[in-house]
Amino acid sequence: MAGKYRVGFIGGGNMAEPMVAAILKEKICSPNETIVSDLLAERRELFEAEFGASVTDNNRQLVANSERIVFSIKPQTFTAVAEEIADVITDEHMLISIMAGVSTGRIAAAFPKVKARVVRVMPNLPIRVGAGVAALCAGENATEHDVAEARAVFDAGGGTIVVNDERLMDAVTAVSGSGPAYFYYFVESIVQGGVACGLSEDDALKLAKYTCLGAGRMMLETDDPPAELRRKVTSKGGTTQAAIEHMNKVGIPEGIRNAVKAAYERGKELGS
């Protein structure tokens, strides 16, 4: 398919923006090979001004002129968007979805006149700073080449894994897709605790940011599992042990596990 654009993003929201930034930075595509559609004029203006990408408010125009289509929209809007573009989707289009909970089978079924090549992806927001992680799952008609091309797009913003059982994608969503928000929520509480102990908010936030950055890098750059790293920080009878014992007492580990399960269940609901 000789499309004018190598990749078209249907939806210019919070995930499309860092994805476009990443693929342009890593030269996966050039600005004149990239197009973004959005109903909001301010979002179109952002992609045009900041990235030099082409923009439109016409999804049909985008599909007709693009080789790869990225569905970066809310799951609840997919049915309406699919009905709008169904007659301009062809067998030659590669479809990438970052919609939480929406299966490759449901996407393919929305375009019954073609053998839709769908790759489902769950990225996360740190793709914005090159530290994202995405899980990919191939639909029935997607080729190995399709998966490789999709991985290249998301490797531009961090790293990827391939999940062979699509049923696990809702678990991926619950762990890494939603995970940054859990992390920020935890940091908010650390900062509040520091302020309660007398630190200024600015100082507490700086300490928390670098502490969490260092902890994350140690997990990535050492062979030690998280439990072992935690033990290395926790001296018997010390301050860290007091904190851990309190968190265990008030049920924080169970609360976190249940929160991940709640996100998982909501992902399944969105796909039904």
* DSSP label at residue 235: -
Joined tokens for residue 82: 């699919």
Superfamily, domain 5-166: NAD(P)-binding Rossmann-like Domain (3.40.50.720)
Q: Give residue for tokens 């197009």.
A: 35
Burial label for 75, CB within 10 Å (0-12, 13-18, 19+), is: middle
What is this structure's pTM?
0.86
Residue 3 confidence (pLDDT):
61
* Sequence ranges of the domains in the chain: 5-166, 179-271
Query: Which fold would CATH assign to domain 179-271?
Result: ProC C-terminal domain-like fold (1.10.3730)
User: Which of these, 87, 45, 46, lies nearest to 63 by C-alpha position?
Assistant: 87
5-166 against 179-271: fold identical: no
Q: How far apart are CA 232 and CA 235, in angstroms?
A: 7
Residue 216 confidence (pLDDT):
92
Joined tokens for residue 66: 């693009």
Residue numbers in the chain where pLDDT is lower than 70? 1-3, 271-272
